[in-house]
Amino acid sequence: MTFLFRNKGNVIIKPRKLIPLIKAVGRLTFIVLFPFPIYCQAWDAYFPLQGPGSESIRIFEPISSNRIFIGGVYDDHFSPGGENLPLNGSKELFFGEWDANGQNTWIAAAGSPDIETLDAAVVRADGTYILGGRFFDSIQFGAGSITSDLGSDAIFLACTDSEGELCWSFAIQGTAYKALGGIQETETGDLLVVGAFNGFLYFEDVPTLSSGSGTNCFVARFTANGLFVEATQFESSLDSGLEELLITDDGQMYLAGYFNDTLYIGTDKLVAETQDQDLFITKFNPESFTPVWSRHLGAQYDDQLAGISWYEDKLYIGGSFLGVLNFKTGTLDDITTPGFNNNGFLASLSSEGVPLSLAGFGGLQDENVSCFNFSSGKPLWAGYYTGDPSLVGQNLPTAAGFSFYGFAGSWKDTTWPWAVSLTTDDQAFIEQIASDELGQVWVSGFYKSNVFFDGVEETSGGFSDAFFGRLNPLFTPVSEVINPESIILYPNPTSAWLYLDSCCPLEEIRIIDQWGRNCSIQVKGQTINLEDLPDGVYYIQIKTQGALQWHRIIKH
């Protein structure tokens, strides 16, 4: 008899063997062996948040496997927690927590008769939440409110509890354009805030910063209780903004953003080769509140920053570019897009600002990166693509016509160990990606008209709907089988041991669970003991002098 199994990536896999194992307790156990590769991962769970209008959401870090903090905006009747949220104007904010089963545990809303945005959030250890965004005139949080005395738009910082009530608030006001780029909490509880502004920027009753003719970057510090401490700026001749802020475990601080024309950071002068948007990365001293060094990363055309992350004493920068991309210092080679389209890039710097690597991915169609980070030590990417994507090691479906397909995956060192696509008849976007303490990957985004999760269609209740979901990827790359006949793996019909037959000496045996974690097993000679492993899906890597082979095992 032949057994065919379909995994969630829609790949038909024929198991190598299907043999019952009888344990001493009389329980019937099956271990099913599959040959690799499996070309993509699957959705473990997904949760649409639907309404009759437009909704968009973000997952904010840090997240846990059963506590996901989500915030977003909506513009029509909306009930993601089961009850209708208030609708006061053209766009409202909401925020709350969901568990691993997609059940809302608490939810709150904030709003006014005008438009608001939610641009950043911090989940604090004391059970409070720092929210940041933009509002016009005033915004209501529970029984409290934040107002702009200048009668225009302003940036809000709001500390709330799980009831949505204000603990404290602060309004960063100004005479012209202003935007919030990010918020981070230091070890001492201080809050560091970055963004962009034009004209005069008020942190007190008098102007604190002024930009002149350009749009400048700002960095500000607040106490844990929301008291303003200090602020500084990077001056630009035309346009600039800070979008990313990172504080490492040992207290180092890095900033990243965009500019065109000329940008002054301390004593450094960065000049864009064209007036298209370039990127900059700055190490910042939080003690002296001054920049340490700055690096310029640019291309012929606009570059987009998706995120920065710190891993193994290196700063990684991810995003999208068009044309030629290079560091303006150092000896690294340029990278180029094969056509006039957007591709993704990954760059790295040492803590001293030395360029260490620069690589790109993509083909002749657009691959746009919305989010990048190292989460649990793994490089995670999210975005959307058009046409036929070019992700080495993966075979994602072609986006037909003028549709946009969302994608999420892990990429570093030229190949994609895993990737998943979000298909639609219209547009689908994955905007956030992060990992919890179990190695599970969480994503969020939105779609128009409809979307397919592993072939299951969800239709939009309005103009666009939001969603979040969970993936269980295997991060270890699938290696090529050099000589597949040199290794034979088969179970024992009377116990939960796997027997290995190899014509070459064994060098290494590893077993990994579906979360990408190494499992402790007993190996004696050419036998592998699985008695102590709970039922589930596992991946065994067997390395000899002549072959490297993976097997997927289902124990039940």
The average pLDDT across 392-404 equals: 89
Q: What is the pLDDT of residue 428?
A: 96
Residue 111 scores a pLDDT above 50: yes
Q: What is the pLDDT of residue 40?
A: 40
The model's pLDDT over 220-242, given as tens digits with 9 standing for 90+, comes to: 999 999 999 999 999 999 999 99
Q: Which residues contact 199 (CB under 8 A, 6 or more apart)?
A: 174, 175, 176, 177, 210, 211
The average pLDDT across 423-431 equals: 95
Q: Please indicate, yes or no, if residue 286 is contained in any of the structural domains.
A: no
Counting other chains too, the contacts that 85-89 makes at CB distance below 8 Å and 24 or more residues apart are 85/109, 86/111, 87/111, 88/112, 88/113, 88/140, 89/113, 89/114, 89/115
Residue 38 scores a pLDDT above 80: no
Residue 510 scores a pLDDT above 90: no
Q: What is the CATH number of the domain that holds 514?
A: 2.60.40.3080
Percentage of residues in the chain with pLDDT exceeding 90?
A: 58
**Containing domain of residue 548, as a range?**
5-38+481-555
pLDDT top residue among 21 and 98: 98
pLDDT top residue among 132 and 400: 132
Q: Please indicate, yes or no, if residue 212 is contained in any of the structural domains.
A: no
Q: What is the pLDDT of residue 18?
A: 31
The average pLDDT across 167-180 equals: 95
Q: Please indicate, yes or no, if residue 12 is contained in any of the structural domains.
A: yes
Q: Please indicate, yes or no, if residue 468 is contained in any of the structural domains.
A: no
Cα distances (angstroms) measured from residue 199 to each of 156, 173, 211, 260, 269? 18, 11, 5, 18, 21
Q: Please indicate, yes or no, if residue 495 is contained in any of the structural domains.
A: yes
CA distance 111 to 118: 11
Q: What is the domain count for the chain?
A: 1
Residue 406 scores a pLDDT above 50: yes
Q: What is the pLDDT of residue 43?
A: 82
Phi, psi of 425 (to 5 degrees): -90, -5
CA distance 111 to 136: 10
CA distance 139 to 115: 9
Instruction: Look over the chain and give the mean of its residue pLDDT values, rounded to a whole number.
Output: 84
Residue 23 scores a pLDDT above 50: no
Q: How confident is the model at residue 158 (pLDDT cuts 50, 70, 90)?
A: very high
Is the pTM higher than 0.95?
no
pLDDT top residue among 205 and 252: 252
Q: What is the pLDDT of residue 128?
A: 93
Q: Which residues contact 253 (CB under 8 A, 6 or more apart)?
A: 192, 245, 246, 247, 283, 284, 285, 286
Residue 516 scores a pLDDT above 60: no
Q: How confident is the model at residue 205 (pLDDT cuts 50, 70, 90)?
A: confident
Residue 34 scores a pLDDT above 70: no
Tokens coding 235: 């001056």
Q: Please indicate, yes or no, if residue 410 is contained in any of the structural domains.
A: no
Q: Please indicate, yes or no, if residue 503 is contained in any of the structural domains.
A: yes
49-63, 198-212, 479-493, 541-555: segment of lowest average pLDDT: 479-493
Length of the chain: 556
Q: Which residues contact 360 (CB under 8 A, 6 or more apart)?
A: 321, 325, 335, 336, 337, 343, 344, 345, 346
Q: Please indicate, yes or no, if residue 278 is contained in any of the structural domains.
A: no
Q: What is the pLDDT of residue 556?
A: 62
